Amino acid sequence: MLSAPGRRISSTSKAAVAVSVLLAGALSTSCGLVPEHPDDGNLVLGVRVTEGSVQVKIPICPGEYPNRVEVWDPGSDTRKERLLWWAEGPAGKDAADGLLKLWSPDDYRKSSPSERPAEAPPLVDVSVSYGAEEDSVGDLVNLKEAAKHLPAEGLYWTARGETMSAQAIDDQLSCAEKPN
């Protein structure tokens, strides 16, 4: 999220915030700050939606750990953006591998009490921050579209309309590059 919804930014500071956001976006990546991973841009998340769960695969570098996940209704022309669900402190090997279940409070140290909406908005904005970094990754996900494309085990549907393996999602990061 560029700024947390619900926060009001005065009109005199909007330009300063916009410049700060652009500068922060130019300097940050999903694994850290330049020059550690200078080529990490345009990352996508993978999604698996089944009747019982929504699982997100985030790109992750070895030794990193996701910290917080948020699911937002990005709103539209007629309604405002709103937080649907959040959780902190994902646990287990799945989280260490960048696999996160949404609306699953048992998989997190703490979470909002909200349940998965029976009628999801057309798009949700999934945002995940990393534990040791002031960095995050996110994507707009159409849950209904993702549910139509249930890929084989170990594969995830992306907002690009393609399926990717967990390894291919991680390989988007420069930390995944192998030395020559």
- C-alpha dihedral, 87 to 91 to 96 to 100, nearest 10°: -40
User: Does position 6 have pLDDT exceeding 80, yes or no?
Assistant: no
Please tell me the predicted confidence (pLDDT) of residue 17.
Answer: 31
99 is written with which tokens? Answer: 């696999």
Residue-wise pLDDT for 102-120, tens only, equals 999 889 999 998 888 777 7
Helix (H/G/I), strand (E/B), else coil: 100: strand
Which uninterrupted H or E stretch holds 62?
none
Name the amino acid, one letter, at 21: V
In the block, tokens 């040791």 appear at: 132
Residues 158, 145 contacting (CB under 8 angstroms): no
Residue-wise pLDDT for 147-170, tens only, equals 888 888 889 999 998 999 999 999
163 is written with which tokens? Answer: 């399926």
Instruction: Report the distance separating Cα 48 and Cα 117, nearest Å.
Output: 16
In the block, tokens 């990717």 appear at: 164
User: Does position 8 have pLDDT exceeding 50, yes or no?
Assistant: no
- The answer for residues whose C-beta is within 8 angstroms of residue 49's C-beta and 6 or more apart is 55, 143, 146, 147, 150, 157
Helices (H) and strands (E) in the chain, counts: 4, 10
Please tell me the predicted confidence (pLDDT) of residue 39.
Answer: 45
